[in-house]
Structure formats: C-alpha cells, structure tokens
C-alpha cells in the first residue's frame, strides 16, 4: 500500500501497527465508507487530528461555527478523523468528545463509537503516533508553547491567534516548525476567506494600482501581555477543573481565583490585532521583515518601514473608511480599504482593473481549513505560514511594547532587537514556569 504524500514510511508503519493493535483489542464492524465506498474517504487517507483547548472558538472549528465557514466543522469533513480532545475543563472535554463520537457513530449507522479519547494533559495527546495534526484553541498564553511542543512531537499545527505573546517565543515557534519539518497555519483566516476581498486589495496595492504606497491606517492598536493582569482573591478549585496547574502552564503560579478567560494575561489589542496586522504586512509585501522604528506623533503610534511607508496604529479618521478586520492603504494615486464585509477604492475604477501579464498574483486559498489540510498532504507552505505569522504577531507585540514605554524606539527587523535599548529588549521575552520553557 502506498503512503500518502508527506507521510513518512516510518510514521506510516507506526500508525499501521497502532491500528492493528487497536483492532485486536476492540474489533468492530467497518462501514463501507471507511474503505472508500459510496464516495467516502478511506481511513488510511484521512488526516487524523487532535484538538487542544475546546472553548467557544475551537468548538466552532471542531463542530461548526460562524468563523469556520464549513457546516459541521472539521468533524464533518470526510477527509478528517478526530481522535483526541484535550482540555483541563472536564465539562468541555467530555462534551466535545461525546459529540464527536456520537457524530461518527451516526455516520457508521448504528453502534457505539469511542475512538475519540479525552485528555487532561496535552503531552499524552501529543505522544500518540496515530495523530497527524493538532488544532490549538487554548488560552493565548499557551499558544506558542503548545505549537512548539506539537512540532517537536511530529504534529502539524493549526493555532488560533494571537499565535504568541512575546517576540522571542514567536521566533522560537518558527525555529521549531522548521527544525521538525512541520506544516503550520495561523488562525488569521482573512487571507483565505471573505470572498477574496483581502487578497484582491493586497494584490492591487502591491501591483501599483494606487501608485507609490505612502501610509496605511492599520485599523487597530497593538497589544501584548502582563503576567500580573486581573489578580483576584483566591477561591476553591471547582470540581470540573481537573488541573489548575495545567491551565496556568507557563504562567507564574498563583492560587485559583476563578478567572479562566482565554485572554486573561493580555492587554491592548492582543485578541483582534493580529488579524489587522497580518493584512497590513501582506499588503506591504513585508511577510519576512518589519518596521525600523516606532514613534508617537500626530497620528499616535506610528510604525515606519525602511522604504519610508508609515503605518498608523489606528482606524482611518474618516468614518466612511473604517473596515472590520482590515486597513486602508493610501498611495500617491489613490487608496484602497478592505474589511470582512466590503472593499472600497478611490477612485472606484481601481477595483475593476484586472491583473495584467506583468503583475504578480498573491497566494490564493478559498478555504482556510481546506488550505491547512491540503498542505498537510502536500507539505506545501500554508497561506499563513510560520514566518509571515511570526512577523504579524511581532508587529502587534512591538506596538504593545511601544505603548507601554511611550517613547520612540528603533527596531532591527533582521536581528529582531531594539539596538542599544536594554529596557525595550527586556520586553521581548518573559520568564516561564518550569517545565514550560522555550
């Protein structure tokens, strides 16, 4: 039997042996769809997945939600099989695993199905040789660490934004993904979804339709994190929380205080901002670099790039030119604004101009989850690969640092340091609790 693209012979044999052992221990009737009959996808060709953190966002990915753009979520895809659910909250873990098993049992037309197993400790899920990829929807202070651990364990990674809370852990994620040859996709889906509006806007900007780019209204401010955020009085640990220690993970130890917010340690634009800056970077053609300085002036926090383009960390002052999730690019011959619900240009005729033979189209994907799965099979880079993701996250975090220090900062995007500025450089990383260290 041939292995599918991207699946090594050693890994294929491991998975085959694991499957054989499971079959001996618990035989069951295999439906025709499992071997590809009736238009189904044979089990050997499915991508096997584990989900780490199944709060509101990740449950939408798993079972279907407004931002997943696929009815039924990953579990409903015939080319995917979900084998593991990890969450320290027993209620969420058991609910998700039970719903996955119920769905697969219904597809098998009767009988119990318990192949999807629940885990409290992510290391147990990552140790499974039969899981190809993981989707990480944990609290944000865990995102980079979980991505690194997954890459080390040989798993491909889809991780929700923000993909990191410090520049150093973001760069460490890049290094781990590359070292272990993993496919990586960030949950900044605007490059893939929304009828291609964001791709169209960035293609027009990068192919000179608004002349020489002068400045960009980013639409949102930067953000970072603070370990001491939102401290509250201690409370008893509830029965449904199986491990407060694992919920904290790399965060400093503190008594349980009832705050299990996904963005508990974040401030500023830590939740939404990476969406905006991902599009800014794409439009600038800066997926492998960043600004050279940050200042405060007439337009508030301003990023300046080596070519002279300035990015203002706020929405356009004109209310008619404000867009959900996207920026406004202003050039010498016009402007283009883009958001999830609309794209606009001045002059309007810019939008009607097709790309010509001499123009450069951008990476096209019409489904973010579909792009991830395709790249798991082909080993091609995703549309939101690890380097571009790192640079977008870094831009967000640099804005948070500048906002905290409230003074001009020089930045070296190649060395990823503030030259001669020890105070600012100290904010590029954060101490993490053992054993959760990058």
Identify the pLDDT of residue 46.
93
pTM (two decimals): 0.90
**pLDDT for 6 beyond 90:** no
When pLDDT is averaged across residues 233-239 and rounded to a whole number, the result is 96
Give the whole-angstrom CA distance, residue 345 versus residue 334. Answer: 7
Asked if residues 38 and 32 have their Cβ atoms less than 8 Å apart, the reply is: yes
**pLDDT for 230 beyond 90:** no
Give the whole-angstrom CA distance, residue 232 versus residue 226. Answer: 15
Q: Which segments of 32-157 does DSSP mark as H helices, in order? A: 56-63, 90-107, 122-126, 143-152
Of residues 385, 432, 402, 379, the one with CA closest to residue 297: 402
When pLDDT is averaged across residues 298-306 and rounded to a whole number, the result is 97
What integer best gives the mean pLDDT of the chain?
Answer: 90
Identify the pLDDT of residue 67.
65
Give the whole-angstrom CA distance, residue 34 versus residue 108. Answer: 9
Residue with tokens 């989900």: 51
**pLDDT for 31 beyond 60:** no
Identify the pLDDT of residue 39.
52
Across 63-72, 153-162, 197-206, least confident range: 63-72
- If one counts every other C-beta atom within 10 angstroms of the C-beta of residue 32, the result is 10
**pLDDT for 12 beyond 90:** no
Give the whole-angstrom CA distance, residue 215 versus residue 196. Answer: 23
The SS3 assignment for 282 reads helix
Identify the pLDDT of residue 437.
82
Give the whole-angstrom CA distance, residue 435 versus residue 149. Answer: 12
Tell me whether the omega of the peptide bond preceding residue 162 falls within 30 degrees of 0, making it cis. Answer: yes
Identify the pLDDT of residue 34.
43
Give the whole-angstrom CA distance, residue 104 versus residue 82. Answer: 9
The SS3 assignment for 105 reads helix
Q: Quick one: angle between helices 167-179 and 143-152, nearest 10?
A: 20
Identify the pLDDT of residue 111.
65
Q: 45 pLDDT band (50/70/90 cuts)?
A: confident
Tell me the per-residue pLDDT of 423-435, one tens digit each, with 9 for 90 and over: 999 999 999 999 9
Identify the pLDDT of residue 391.
98
Tell me whether the omega of the peptide bond preceding residue 347 falls within 30 degrees of 0, making it cis. Answer: yes
Q: 108 pLDDT band (50/70/90 cuts)?
A: confident
**pLDDT for 21 beyond 60:** no
**pLDDT for 25 beyond 90:** no
Higher per-residue confidence, 88 vs 40: 88
Higher per-residue confidence, 388 vs 271: 388
Across 10-14, 351-355, 383-387, least confident range: 10-14
The SS3 assignment for 135 reads strand
| Helix or strand run (H / E) with residue 350 | none
Across 43-52, 119-128, 241-250, 271-280, least confident range: 43-52
Identify the pLDDT of residue 10.
39
Q: Which residues have a Cβ under 8 Å from the Cβ of 337 and sit 6 or more positions away? A: 201, 316, 321, 322, 323, 326, 327, 328, 329, 343, 344, 345
Domains along the chain? 42-191 (3.40.50.720), 195-363+386-438 (3.30.360)
**pLDDT for 38 beyond 50:** no
Identify the pLDDT of residue 113.
74
Q: 110 pLDDT band (50/70/90 cuts)?
A: low
**pLDDT for 27 beyond 90:** no
Give the whole-angstrom CA distance, residue 43 versus residue 35. Answer: 6
Identify the pLDDT of residue 40.
63
Tell me the per-residue pLDDT of 164-183, one tens digit each, with 9 for 90 and over: 999 999 999 999 999 999 99
How many residues does the structure list for the chain?
438
Positive or negative, the Cα torsion across 160, 162, 168, 170?
positive
Share of the chain above pLDDT 70, in %: 89
When pLDDT is averaged across residues 62-77 and rounded to a whole number, the result is 84
């Amino acid at each position: 039997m041939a292995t599918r693209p991207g699946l090594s012979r050693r890994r294929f044999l491991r998975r085959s042996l694991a499957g054989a052992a499971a079959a001996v221990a618990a035989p069951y009737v295999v439906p025709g769809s499992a071997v590809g009959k009736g238009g189904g996808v044979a089990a050997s060709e499915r991508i096997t997945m584990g989900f780490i953190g199944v709060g509101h966002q990740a449950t939408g990915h798993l079972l279907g939600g407004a931002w997943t753009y696929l009815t039924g979520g990953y579990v409903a895809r015939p080319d995917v099989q979900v084998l593991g659910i990890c969450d320290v909250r027993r209620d969420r873990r058991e609910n998700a695993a039970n719903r996955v098993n119920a769905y697969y049992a219904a597809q098998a037309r009767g009988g119990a199905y318990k192949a999807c197993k629940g885990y409290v400790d992510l290391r147990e899920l990552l140790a499974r040789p039969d899981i190809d990829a993981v989707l990480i929807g944990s609290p944000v202070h865990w995102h980079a660490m979980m991505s690194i651990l997954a890459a080390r364990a040989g798993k491909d990674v889809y991780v929700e934004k923000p993909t990191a809370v410090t520049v150093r852990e973001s760069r460490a994620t890049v290094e781990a993904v590359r070292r272990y040859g993993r496919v990586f996709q960030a949950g900044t889906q605007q490059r893939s979804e929304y009828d291609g509006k964001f791709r169209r806007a960035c293609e027009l900007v990068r192919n000179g339709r608004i002349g020489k780019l002068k400045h960009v209204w980013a639409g949102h401010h930067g953000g970072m994190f603070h370990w001491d955020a939102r401290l509250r009085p201690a409370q008893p640990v509830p029965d449904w929380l199986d491990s407060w220690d694992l919920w904290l993970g790399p965060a400093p130890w503190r008594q349980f205080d009832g705050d299990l917010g996904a963005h508990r340690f974040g401030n500023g634009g830590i939740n939404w901002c990476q969406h905006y800056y991902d599009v800014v970077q794409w439009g600038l053609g800066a997926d492998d670099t960043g600004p050279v300085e940050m200042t405060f002036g007439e337009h508030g926090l301003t990023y300046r790039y080596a070519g002279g383009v300035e990015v203002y960390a706020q929405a356009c002052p004109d209310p008619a030119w404000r867009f959900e999730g996207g920026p406004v690019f202003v050039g010498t011959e016009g402007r283009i604004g883009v958001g999830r619900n609309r794209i606009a240009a001045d002059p309007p005729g810019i939008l009607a101009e097709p790309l010509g033979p001499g123009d450069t189209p951008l990476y096209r994907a019409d489904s973010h989850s579909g792009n991830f799965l395709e790249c798991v099979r082909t080993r091609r880079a995703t549309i939101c690969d690890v380097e571009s993701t790192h640079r977008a996250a870094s831009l967000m975090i640099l804005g948070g640092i500048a906002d905290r220090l409230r003074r001009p900062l020089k930045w070296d995007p190649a060395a990823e340091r503030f030259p001669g500025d020890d105070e600012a450089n100290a904010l590029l990383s954060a101490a993490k609790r053992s054993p959760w260290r990058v």
